Amino acid sequence: MTAMIYPTTNPAATEVMVVSRGEGPYIYDQAGKQYLEGMAGLWCTSLGYGNQEIIEAATRQMEQLSFSHMFSGKTHPSAIELADKLAAMSPIEDARVFLGASGSDANDTLVKLIRYYAVASGQPERVKIIARDKGYHGVSLASAALTGLPANHTHFQLPFDALGVLRTGAPHYYRCAEPGETEADFVARRARELETLILAEGPETIAAMIAEPVNGAGGVIIPPEGYFEAIQGVLDKYGIMLWDDEVICGFGRLGTAFGAEKLNMKPKMMACAKALTSAYVPLSAAIVAGDIADAIAGPASDMGVFGHGYTYSGHPLGCAVASKVLDIYVRDRLFEHAATLGVYMAKRLSEFADHPLVGEVSAMGLLGALELVANKTTKQPFEGMKVAQFCAKAAEDNGLIIRPLGGNRMALCPPLIIQEVHVDEIMDKLGRALDSTLDFVTAEGLTV
């Protein structure tokens, strides 16, 4: 036991693995055991480990300028270059970029920008934000309040009311559909529920709805066909902005530059982090449409300052690394690669649909999940996380990292640089882990 307080960890189960080295899509523990990193760390190491081009770009930047802040009119070349690249890549019109260091702080920045914009545009009451069950947007006080997972709320007394957080249902057909409801009916119901919520609260009080294209930490939930089109129709009707959380889906994860393109979302703002630097160093971006940035520029200049910024906003190291990472994504056509290989991964993953423990198979691009259930016919879930945790440990014993998420969903999110042979390795190891899990569940009498 060290002096460390560990993040998102059961305090009774710390230091179960010491990761000491990484190379390509593999990591190695202290004993030298190799693992295929089937989760790209925390959905972030898209270019894998030990990429020399990135290391050289980082070294050059540290030799040239190791730090420069961006307060009070200062800037530096790497930040300007990155902001222009990001704005050009993003689907947002006339995009403007605010830089931070984590997905949580990018979402916090957007909460502040929404509030600032409400005042600047003469609608000071328009600050409420709609968020969804099973959404994950971070752990700072504001982003945790937007998150829709009980584990991130319990005991923290989060400022839901102060922030005007409104909650609507998850787009999870497998778990949330009513008996006999088709996917189209389910989508129509979700859109109706959203409209009812907006009318009950007063559309003039609601600024935005936050949504991940595919919910990641909530269980890799892929919305049914037509979901975002239906949601967007309701939001547009009441002048409510779509706030796209691209922290996982951004930069090719779903086979397109951003999840918004794949799922036909029309966002006015988005949060990016993780694969923006392929997690070589921390960096995030809050991106908004030009009219929002322009509207806040007026009042800010009257007041003398837009009073929000981090010491590490636009850190030169993060900017130089992100710039190089974006160049590599484009040069190596990695978004297209994720789309093509994603079709293969989905096909291989769907082979587990017949496994006695598997209730739902979800896959899009290089993101996927299996939901483990106690009964395939009734979809009865396992209680707690014991079964998912066993399965993740069994995968680890076989040399594969996967992540157990709430609802006993086993997530997969491998680095974008993997090839078909790695998909096959993942499926072989996952298959063995599932079989050991079945033995465990049978021995413990957990199926029904």
Residue ranges in contact with ligand PLP by CB under 6 A: 42, 102-104, 107, 136-138, 212, 216-217, 245, 247-248, 273
Q: Shortest approach of ligand PLP to residue 414 CB, angstroms? A: 16
Tokens of 362: 């979800």
d(CA 139, CA 36) in angstroms, rounded, equals: 28
- Least gap, CB of 215 to ligand PLP (angstroms): 8
CB of 245 to ligand PLP, least distance (A): 5
**Cβ proximity to ligand PLP, 105 vs 360, nearer residue:** 105
Closest to ligand PLP by CB, 126 vs 137, is 137
Nearer to ligand PLP, 138 or 148 (CB): 138
For ligand PLP, the closer CB: 247 or 427: 247
Beta bridge partners of 401: 37
Which tokens go with 313? 């906003």
The residue among 279 and 374 lying less far from ligand PLP, judged by its C-beta, is 279
Minimal distance, residue 300 CB to ligand PLP, in Å: 26
Q: How far is the CB of 7 from ligand PLP (least distance, A)?
A: 9
Nearest partner of 39 among 172, 220, 272, judged by Cα: 220
CB 87, min distance to ligand PLP, A? 20
Q: What gap in Å lies between CA 252 and CA 339, rounded to an integer?
A: 8
Q: Which residues of 198-224 are buried (b: 16+ CB within 10 A; e: fewer)?
A: beeeebeebbbbbbbbbbbbbbbbbbb
Cβ atoms 372, 358 nearer than 8 A: yes
Shorter beta-carbon distance to ligand PLP: residue 37 or 212: 212
Which of residues 247 and 254 has its CB atom nearest to ligand PLP in the complex? 247
Of 42 and 446, CB closest to ligand PLP:
42
The smaller minimum CB distance to ligand PLP, of residues 104 and 278, is found at 104
Q: Minimum distance from CB of 271 to ligand PLP (Å)?
A: 6
């949060």: which residue's tokens? 271
Residues 357, 375: contact at Cβ < 8 Å? no
**CB of 446 vs ligand PLP, minimal distance in Å:** 29
Find the shortest distance in angstroms from Cβ 270 to ligand PLP: 10
